[in-house]
Amino acid sequence: MSEQELPGLLILDIGGTYGVQENIVALLKKHFCLITMKEFLENKKEMSKKIQSVFVSECRPTVDQELLESLPNLKVIGNSGVGVDHLNLKMISNFGVKVTNTPHAVADSTADIGMALMLASARRLVEGSQIAISPHTKYFAVDWLGVEVSRATLGIIGMGRIGYKVAQRARAFDMKILYHNRKQRRKEEEQAVGAHYCEKMEDLLQQSDFVMLVVNLTPETHKMIGKKELGLMKPTATLINIGRGALIDQDALVEALQNNVIRAAALDVTYPEPLPRDHPLLKLNNIIITPHIGTATVQAVQMMAEEAIANMLAVLNGQPIPSEVFPK
Ligand SMILES: O=C(O)C(=O)CO
């Protein structure tokens, strides 16, 4: 099939921070006739008829009502990433368009970043690195101590695919693993990793040395960790967030960290991203923040694209869709 005969796929601009990388462009080109946003905007009349799919890099709010109205043949939005809180699923579904995501491809790399943040915060790696590389350092004067992850209690809020991968890794550190799921107890996974189920999130918060959020952002989970929940945590505990920033009431977190209500926080996600440069979270020394890099690995990006392609082709070919997301 010539490129022109392949189904049209609208993608974000190539390159740049959120743009689609060259190797992924090459992969997409094997299955689709790629149309960039620039090409679409320059020749809307012709391009709009061609486009049957849109490839969305995670967290880019690219699909609004205006775009949907201008794509009469659109069938599927392939999200590269698992979280779809940046997409208005109800509105998209009203246009008869399906949404898919990539839960398998993201699991290992996101679990790894959770472990990396937990270890980095526990052992104060960022502060240590600053001392080691500072031009003012004459001798190593480290007047603080970290805490150990080994044998500590990890409370996982959200034992889905990623949460389970975190639990598997935590087991290798002899951690005691607690977990809480809002909807579904996972008995099989629980047994496989020796995790204990906490029906009440409060129990998990009270008992854990490290609390890790691995939850999707929905209206129900919005600000699920606020002043009350932080107050239940041990003063020696660390909060890690690899889900979405808005799971935490950030004002309450600032207050808790300033007053040592909890020991520390380690966040791969915030709201907004990035935080304004004068945000009080950026002024604290008991916090680590990374720029939403849960899936920022060579392997994950490739696997996400492959999973997204399989999803989109299934929709276009009328086959069973591996990972479709439905509006609630
Ligand atoms: O896949 C996603 O939605 C992520 O944010 C991974 O970090």
Q: pLDDT tens digits for 112-134?
A: 999 999 999 999 999 999 999 99
The β-bridge partners of 9 are 34, 53
* Active site (annotated) includes residue 124: no
Q: If we measure between CA atoms, which residue out of 168, 182, 251 comes closest to residue 213? A: 182
Q: How far is the C-alpha of 49 from the C-alpha of 146, rounded, in Å?
A: 59
What is the 277 CA–ligand 1 centroid distance (Å)?
Answer: 23
pLDDT at residue 13, as a whole number: 64
* Active site (annotated) includes residue 273: yes
What is the 307 CA–ligand 1 centroid distance (Å)?
Answer: 14
Class of domain 8-105+297-325: alpha beta
Q: What are phi and psi of 46, to 5 degrees?
A: -75, -45
CATH number of 106-289: 3.40.50.720
DSSP class of 30: T
Q: Which residue has the tokens 């939005």?
A: 77
Give the pLDDT confidence of 176-194 residue by residue, as tens digits: 999 999 999 999 999 999 9
For residue 102, the ligand 1 atom closest to its alpha carbon is: 1
Pocket test for ligand 1, best of 214, 241, 295, 301 (most atoms within 8 A of CB): 295
Any atom of ligand 1 within 6 Å of the Cβ of 294: yes
For residue 244, the ligand 1 atom closest to its alpha carbon is: 5
pLDDT at residue 61, as a whole number: 55
- Kind and range of the H or E run holding 23: helix 22-29
- 14 — pLDDT class (breaks 50, 70, 90): low
Pocket test for ligand 1, best of 57, 106, 247 (most atoms within 8 A of CB): 106
pTM of the predicted protein model: 0.95
Q: How far is the C-alpha of 293 from the C-alpha of 307, rounded, in Å?
A: 19
ipTM, two decimals: 0.96
Strands 33-36 and 8-11: parallel
Give the pLDDT confidence of 285-310 residue by residue, as tens digits: 999 999 999 999 999 999 999 999 99
What is the 43 CA–ligand 1 centroid distance (Å)?
Answer: 32
pLDDT at residue 59 greater than cutoff 70: no
pLDDT at residue 1, as a whole number: 72
Any atom of ligand 1 within 6 Å of the Cβ of 311: no
Q: What is the mean pLDDT of residues 216-229?
A: 97
pLDDT at residue 17, as a whole number: 52
Q: If we measure between CA atoms, which residue out of 98, 62, 100, 101 comes closest to residue 81? A: 101
Q: Which of 190, 244, 263, 307 is catalytic?
A: 244
Token couple for 231:
């107050």
Domain parsing of the chain, residue ranges: 8-105+297-325, 106-289
Q: How far is the C-alpha of 284 from the C-alpha of 178, rounded, in Å?
A: 28
- 4 — pLDDT class (breaks 50, 70, 90): confident
Local structure of 212: helix, strand or coil? strand
DSSP 88-117: -HHHHHHTT-EEE--HHHHHHHHHHHHHHH
For residue 106, the ligand 1 atom closest to its alpha carbon is: 1
Cβ atoms within 10 Å, residue 94: 12
On whether the CB atoms of residues 108 and 85 are closer than 8 A, the answer is no
pLDDT at residue 60, as a whole number: 59
Q: How far is the C-alpha of 138 from the C-alpha of 116, rounded, in Å?
A: 29
